Structure 1
Amino acid sequence: MNNAITISTLLAFLVAFLVISFYAKRSDGGSSNSSSEGFIIGGRSMGTIVLLLSMGATYFSTWTLLGAFGSYFREGVWFVGFAVWTIFHGIFVWLFGTRIWLAGKRYGFITPGQMIERYYHSGRLRIAVALTGIVAMVPVMLIQVSGGARALEALTDGGIPYFIGVSVTSVMVGVIVLWAGFKGTAWTDSFMGIFFASILIFTAVYVVNLSGGSQMFIRIAELKPSLVVNSGHPLKMMELWLSLGFGAWVLPHMWQKFYSASSAEVLGKVSIMTPFWNSWMMAIIPLLVGMAAVLPGVAPGVSDAKSDTILPLIFSAHLPLLGALVVAGILAAAISTINSQLLSSASLVAEDIIDSRRQQPLSSAGITRVTRLVVASLTALVFVLALLPGGTGFLVPVASLGFGLGLQLVPSALGVLHLRSITEQGAFYGLVCGTSVMAIVAIFRPEIPLGPGISGFLLNIAVTWVVSRRTPSVPETSLREFHDMFDTYLRNNLDRPGDDGALVDTSDSPKTGTPGGPA
């Protein structure tokens, strides 16, 4: 493969990222980055198309372009069961996302912790939720950097070393986030989502044709019949499905995307379109390509150890002239996922950990400055972790740790959004016990049938329920401000033109760095 062409294409693609970020920054005269609300959640102005593509691109990561392919190659067709989450995720956007949007608009929240603290009247729970969210996103950010760098190295036969791939991805993400904030990440996400979706569709058509067309699965069954039989693993599938389907929506970067919507109607449309967008791209296409790779000649040199690089191996062997576009697609997948997670993690550190503990609150501009500093620090941290030996593990198992931690946030979030019976003590001790057990199982790997995420989640639910039954309810004001507000809004369908102003309450807004609450 001509590495000069690959590098030139890669540079052109990086320039395209910067140009898109530049226009995103200029689209409103730069005002979206002048306040913490604008920099972190785009001024609550995201429309249907941009939000749909941004959400999809956040999930279309190296997990999709690399990790899912490898999982099908190693473990067979049973892995397709995880696609169930893509359907239910759309339902969760509507069930939970609209309520998060409504509370965020009314009270000016820009982080999950602000909503948690206001509802439970608990600073410690806000800190616990923020720390869990940050730690959950680190492994997911890590696989974007390490997975993309490994793929670039494989596709160029070492012409772009792993270190260079890690460096380029880290620097580009840091520049986009620091320069253009939420709106810049959303616009680049939209561009990159369309680009690598096109790469995936083309790859699937080409590989199926290369593998015998309609006879492909027959050939696979003759060569390796175990791969086309559902081999079970129900608990393993449940771990993956729950973590992705029920845990992903509550991760901070997704929570803040709900805040960013311009209306509940936008989230309703996104919830309808999300399953079609996610299920085909994230499940069916990786199934076809990953399974086909077991056939001789489709992905020369592939093995279990190299299974996370199936896509670059295919293009390197069969379509080297198009390999440069695959390099760009993989880079797009990595950047489109990590940029929103990086911005979200930094905002949690700035708002929920630093500013919430200060006696003198920071101004909106101060919050933005601190967030930028944390973005730079977290970028450096992910860069260093990607260079450590542990940063090169299989992509799906590493990512599942992050999503499993997200699952531990669900009970406390459900208390705010749906379940009046959950108390502050129940939510706090459930979260602490759930994350502790998950960490123990993940580190020591005891011989038990349940994985880390489910083990922690089940204990989390049990502790939350038992403690909530024996401790005082949240204040009555919280029930009125949240649950009664949700019920009234949904009953009266207030989301009509001209009604948004009725949702704004600036008289009792939490401290967000935006004077007077949301505009």
Structure 2
Amino acid sequence: MELAFGGAAGIAVLLAYGGLMLAVGLITYLRNRHIHESLDEYYLGGRGLGVMVLFFTFFATQYSGNTVIGYPPTAYRIGYQYLVSVPFFICIIAVYLFFAPRLYALGRRFSLLTPVDWIDMRFRSRAVTILASILMLYALGNYLLEQFVAIGQGVSGLTGGTIPYQVGVVFFIVIMVAYSWLGGMRSVAYTDTIQGIALLFGVFMLLLGSLIYFGGPGTAAEVMRREAPDKLGAPDAAGVAHWFSLIALVGIGAAVYPHAVQRIFSARSEATLKRSFIRMAFMPFATAAVVFFVGIIGIAAFPGLSTGESEQLVGRIANALATRHVVFYWAMVLLFGGVIAAIVSTADSVLLTFSSIVSNDLYGRFVDRDASEHRKIRVGKLVGLAAVVVLVIIAWYPPGTLYRIFVLKFELLIQAAPALILGLYWVRLNTRAVFAGMLAGTLLASAMTFADWTPLGVFSGLWGLLLNLAICVLGSLLLGVKRADEAHAVEVIGMR
């Protein structure tokens, strides 16, 4: 994504963005000095996020800057088969709507702070709680690593290499940690709103410029028909199986992201939550579909790119647009500033939730039950900072492609879905079966991932989930449930 036009202007935009984020954190702290005394205030914004702020913080969580940078090159290489990227996000909303309103009501009733909080209350099992915590912390750490790598690449590209990759990583991580520590969830949500607006503006300007100067999908179709007719065709049976499995993996996995679930608990009311989801339902078409068509238009604008060259597609288009008109020059600089902002906005959410699971679900539950909320928050901050340092060291020389890092976290995170979602509706779910299923699914998905084995084109995480579900359901039917456990489940979820 290197931008030849972006050096000085890119540095100015990044410095302005960094200063704005620090200002948001400082103002939030000065207006809410008690924020560090309450877990609810620090990690959930006092459970008072309104419709627009909640919408944008969901948007920033779901659509990282990688959507803008990574999806167009894939559409360029695959063609119209990659239209499946739009259903990815539609499926996430569908899964949210299946469980989020009910989980929100229980979160209000029992003052739940994290998804692990819910799992612990529902099953009252140390083993289930610790395993779920490990899976979620692994996924969050994995996701943070992905964002750190993307931040460094983005800063280096936007400034034309003036700011080196490693300097970009450290600069924005320091800013992110500072405003997150100052204002907690409120700072994160407010910066998400700013970053979401910037990203939406930049994406639409990118599409508008592409349509004006490079022609529409019709022009791209003519190029594909002459040079790569396979990009106009439908996928074969194996391709269909692969994409349907990816839709399921991403749809379920992204919906049970711990930082996404925490936003459910942060809503001011159930009506606020539902109105935010109504707005989110339109965003796959306003974001994923837009960047998909940018990739398709890129086939006509820059035909014949190799795989490596296509990874720079968005930067090539932005450079070309910037030379055509001064409006698009500044729009493209702002676009890439927005992309980096969106990546940082995803990372700050992940870091906050990582800290909350450490402080509330592990430290507060198993290490020091009598710790004050202020002490729990401090422990979460320090452990989160230590994790950031370790991940920065790893990100200094990235260990693999962003796509590989992206997929691996879903393979394991999705194993927590049966406990999280089935536990909301089935009172006869057996605790031992839940633990056995979660552990077996994790081991199978891990083994298949490291062996790079995907039978029938289905991702290893889904094979693990199928085993997980089979053990959960059959184990619960065969073992039954103790009368006391069933009574507890009825009391908690209010269903028979």
User: Taking structure 2 as the reference length, what is the TM-score of the superposition?
Assistant: 0.91
Matched letter for residue 464 of structure 1: C
Q: Is the 8 A contact 1:46 1:262 kept in 2?
A: yes
1:403 alignment partner, one of 386, 395, 410: 410
- Output one character per residue of 1:53-101: Cα deviation in whole Å (capped at 9) or x when no partner: 1000111213311121222122222122132232333333333112221
Give the match for residue 426 of structure 1: 433
SS at match of 1:340: helix
Deviation digits for residues 36-67 of structure 1 (CA, Å, limit 9, x no counterpart)? 11111111111111101100011121331112
> CA offset at residue 228 of structure 1?
2.2
Alpha-carbon shift at residue 324 of structure 1 (Å): 2.8
User: What is residue 355 of structure 1 aligned with on the other side?
Assistant: 364
The equivalent position to 2:488 in structure 1, one of 472, 478, 481, is: 478
Counterpart Cα distance in 1 of 2:318 and 2:432: 54
Q: Do structure 1's residue 73 and structure 2's residue 81 form an aligned pair?
A: no
Kindly report the root-mean-square deviation, in angstroms, between the aligned alpha carbons of the 2 structures.
2.1
> How far is 1:388 from its partner?
2.9
- 1:360 Cα offset (Å): 4.0
Q: Percent identical across equivalent pairs?
A: 24
Structure 1 residues 199 and 154, CA gap change in structure 2 (3 angstroms): same
Distance in 1 (alpha carbons) for counterparts of 2:381 and 2:10: 32
SS at match of 1:158: coil
State yes or no: 1:334 paired with 2:343. yes
Query: Does 1:469 pair with 2:469?
Result: no
2:284 is the counterpart of 1:274: no
Partner AA of 2:284 in structure 1 = N
Is this contact kept in 2: 1:243–1:406, CA < 8 A? no
Q: What per-residue deviation string (whole Å, max 9, x for no partner) do you get for residues 374-406 of structure 1?
A: 221122122122123414x1x334212223323
Within 5 Å, give how 1:191-230 maps onto structure 2. 191-213=194-216, 215-221=218-224, 222-230=226-234
Instruction: Give the stretch that moved more between structures: 72-81 or 38-47.
Output: 72-81
Q: Which consecutive segments of 4 or more residues in structure 1 shift more than 6 A?
A: none
AA matched with 1:187 = Y
Q: Distance in 2 between matches of 1:261 and 1:133?
A: 21
1:452 to 460, 466, 470: 460
Whole-Å separation in 2 of the counterparts to 1:80 and 1:55 = 22
Pairwise mapping of residues 253-402 of structure 1 onto structure 2 (< 5 A)? 253-281=259-287, 283-297=288-302, 303-319=306-322, 321-322=329-330, 323-358=332-367, 360-391=369-400, 393=401, 395-402=402-409
Partner of 1:494: none
- CA 1:325–1:284 in 2, change beyond 3 Å: closer, same or farther? same
SS of 2:160's partner is coil
Partner of 2:98: 95
What does residue range 245-256 of structure 1 map to in structure 2 within 5 Å? 245-256=251-262
Q: Is the 8 A contact 1:250 1:410 kept in 2?
A: yes
Change (3 A) 1:362 1:15: same
The total of aligned residue pairs comes to 480
Deviations 1:173-192 (A, max 9, x none): 21221121111000100110
Partners of 1:174 and 1:375 within 8 A in 2: no
Residue 42 (1) aligns with residue 45 (2): yes
| Alignment partner of 2:25 out of 21, 46, 54 | 21
Q: Structure 2: any 5+ residue segments left out of the alignment? A: 324-328
**C-alpha displacement of 1:419:** 2.3
Cα distance between partner residues in 1 of 2:312 and 2:270: 40
For residues 159-238 of structure 1, the aligned pairs below 5 Å read 159-213=162-216, 215-221=218-224, 222-232=226-236, 233-238=239-244
Deviation of the 1:445 alpha carbon: 0.9
Equivalent residue for 1:115, pick from 109, 114, 118: 118
> Does the aligned pair in 1 maintain the 2:217–2:296 contact within 8 Å?
no
Q: Report the CA distance between 1:119 and its aligned residue.
A: 1.1
Q: Following the alignment from structure 2 to structure 1, what is the Cα–Cα distance between the partners of residues 52 and 101?
A: 17
Q: Which residue of 1 aligns with 2:446?
A: 439
- Is 2:138 the partner of 1:135? yes
Q: Residues 470 and 214 of structure 1: is their aligned pair in 2 closer, same or farther, counting only changes over 3 Å? A: closer
C-alpha contact (below 8 Å) 1:243/1:404 kept by paired residues: yes
CA distance change for structure 1 residues 480 and 448 in 2, over 3 Å: closer, same or farther? closer
2: distance between equivalents of 1:476 and 1:128? 22
Looking at structure 1, the residues matched to 412 and 49 of structure 2 have their Cα atoms a distance apart, in angstroms, of 28
Letter in 1 for 2:352: L
Q: Offset of 1:293 from its aligned partner?
A: 2.2
CA distance in 1, matches of 2:301, 2:209: 16
Per-residue deviation, residues 450-477 of structure 1 (Å, max 9, x unmatched): 2222121111111212222232426133
- Residue 145 of structure 1: CA displacement? 1.8
Contact kept? 2:28, 2:182, Cα under 8 Å: no
Query: Which segments of 5 or more consecutive residues in structure 1 lack a partner in the other structure?
Result: 488-519
Residues in 1 aligned to 2:285 and 2:9: alpha-carbon distance in whole angstroms = 33
